[in-house]
Amino acid sequence: MNSLVKYALIAWIIACAMLVLGKQLSLQHSLMSLLWPTDAAAGSTEHQQQTLGNFLLEPERMDKLYEPSSSEKYVVDHAEELGLLADTWGNMTMPSCRIFTDPTLPTYSSLQSYRKELEHYTQRANEFTMDIKDLRIPLRAGVNREELCSTLDLNLTSIFKESQQLSHGTFGYAEPLIPPMRHPDVCFDPEKTHKDLIKMTYMVHDWEVMCKRLTPFSRTVFIDMGASLTFHKKDKSAPAVYILDTYKKFGFVFDHVYAFEITGQAPTSVFELVPSSMLSQYHWINVGVEADPEGKMNPLRMLLEHFTEEDFVVIKLDIDHSAIEVPLAYQLLNDDRYSKMVDQFYFEHHVFQVELAPAWASSMQGSIKMSMDLFGGLRKKGIAAHFWV
């Protein structure tokens, strides 16, 4: 064998060895990054999520990441004939509850089943118990993630088997985005009582899938924009406290609750209403939020500056001021940095709607269809968006 061939053969052997070793190291690095996220691994994760972000920007691919229920599809496709394009007092003439109450509509039968299934879901969620106080504790101890998260499975597909009315996205299953943007009991309560208007058991959460978003060292953050607890003082608990208690029940304990409220309130009156179990993480910020993306009091800016994609972030938006809250909601929709960070989003969007007009009055802007497009767009980007009360 002449020298040239010999050297070429040696070079080829070395190249193959380096290729095999490189693949092994890459695999090892990927596995370690999944188990124990580090700064070194962040670049790889960021690259993967940037790729996902580009993927999300293509509408035809975005649609594949979110599958609305048949009732949600019907409402979107027939919004005009259902009167859901109304955006003024003059053209707001048709009740949005027709999809539940009109036997001639194709949604009627399945939504009757859905109402019954919601009761079953509520009962199962209420009866759920677990010994683990914080899901991150067993994760840090090395407990298998799949096995841990499977304990939170409420068997949603079984509960809603007859109606098939759950929508589905990368966040798991969720309630369909349909009018009346409240619990369907509102449609069957002629008095529209306060009790039915604030009933929150229409929201469906896929706790098992949400659990899989946690890492052993994720920080858990709840941003509450419009945090007046005194507004619901006559109720057993404010809606925000209810939702925080629900998360806690399923092992999601928030490290930080940032509560923004523009109405001046004495701290003593506020903390009297904060459960003692939440005092250590509750940050009362008695100023209004602003919509300017660069504004100091824009909570979304704070989110970008102080938290990462590894953290578990929940946002509630209900300041009853459309000029500020609607732009904030669209910042979530249009800026892909947020879709990588925000897991759950709750927003009371005051649009023109017959059933809620007495409560919302002059604060109504835009149509139900506009709201459904906004919430549906957020779900397509991986944010589980829910109508708030």
Q: Residue 110 carries which DSSP code?
A: H
* Contact in structure between 167 and 176 (CB atoms under 8 Å): yes
58 or 355: whose pLDDT is higher? 355
- pLDDT for 345 beyond 70: yes
Could you give the C-alpha distances from 171 to 66, 175, 179, 212, 343, in angstroms and in order?
9, 12, 22, 10, 8
Q: Who contacts 194 (Cβ-Cβ below 8 Å, separation ≥6)?
A: none
Whole-prediction pTM value? 0.83
Residue type for position 31: L
Q: Starting from the edge strand earliest in sequence, which strands make up the sheet with 342-347, in order? A: 282-285, 256-260, 220-225, 312-317, 342-347, 384-387
- pLDDT for 49 beyond 90: no
pLDDT, residue 14, reads: 52
**Model confidence pLDDT, tens digit, residues 135-184:** 999 999 999 999 999 999 999 999 999 999 999 999 999 999 999 999 99
Residue 312 to residue 325: CA distance in whole angstroms: 22
Among the listed residues 326, 334, 319, the one whose alpha carbon sits nearest the alpha carbon of residue 289: 319
Structure tokens belonging to residue 206: 């896929």
Residue type for position 213: R
pLDDT, residue 92, reads: 95
pLDDT class of 9 with cuts at 50, 70, 90: low
**Model confidence pLDDT, tens digit, residues 191-250:** 767 788 899 999 999 999 999 999 999 999 999 999 988 655 555 568 999 999 999 999
Q: If you average pLDDT over residues 2-23, what whole number do you get? A: 49
What is the percent of the chain with per-residue pLDDT over 70, rounded to a whole number?
Answer: 81
- Phi, psi torsion values for 95, nearest 5 degrees: -60, 135
Among the listed residues 220, 166, 250, 181, the one whose alpha carbon sits nearest the alpha carbon of residue 342: 220
Residue with tokens 């989110």: 303
Q: Is the dihedral of CA 31, 37, 43, 45 positive or negative?
A: positive
Residue type for position 301: R
Residue type for position 5: V
Q: If you average pLDDT over residues 283-300, what whole number do you get? A: 97
3-state secondary structure 321-369: CHHHHHHHHHHHHHCHHHHCCEEEEEECCCCCCCCCHHHHHHHCCCCHH
What is the percent of the chain with per-residue pLDDT over 90, rounded to a whole number?
Answer: 77
What is the pLDDT of the chain when averaged over all its residues? 86
- pLDDT for 61 beyond 50: no
Alpha helix locations (H) across 102-202?
108-127, 136-140, 145-150, 156-159, 194-197
CB atoms within 10 A of CB 373: 16
Q: If you average pLDDT over residues 60-70, what whole number do you get? A: 77
Q: If you average pLDDT over residues 185-189, what whole number do you get? A: 91
Among the listed residues 312, 306, 305, 340, the one whose alpha carbon sits nearest the alpha carbon of residue 254: 312
Residue 252 to residue 67: CA distance in whole angstroms: 26
Longest dimension (CA), the chain: 98
pLDDT, residue 189, reads: 82
CB atoms within 10 A of CB 275: 12
Q: Who contacts 3 (Cβ-Cβ below 8 Å, separation ≥6)?
A: none
pLDDT, residue 13, reads: 54
Q: Who contacts 270 (Cβ-Cβ below 8 Å, separation ≥6)?
A: 229, 230, 284, 286
Structure tokens belonging to residue 14: 């070395």
Could you give the C-alpha distances from 237 to 122, 191, 240, 271, 356, in angstroms and in order?
18, 22, 8, 13, 22
Residue 89 to residue 135: CA distance in whole angstroms: 48
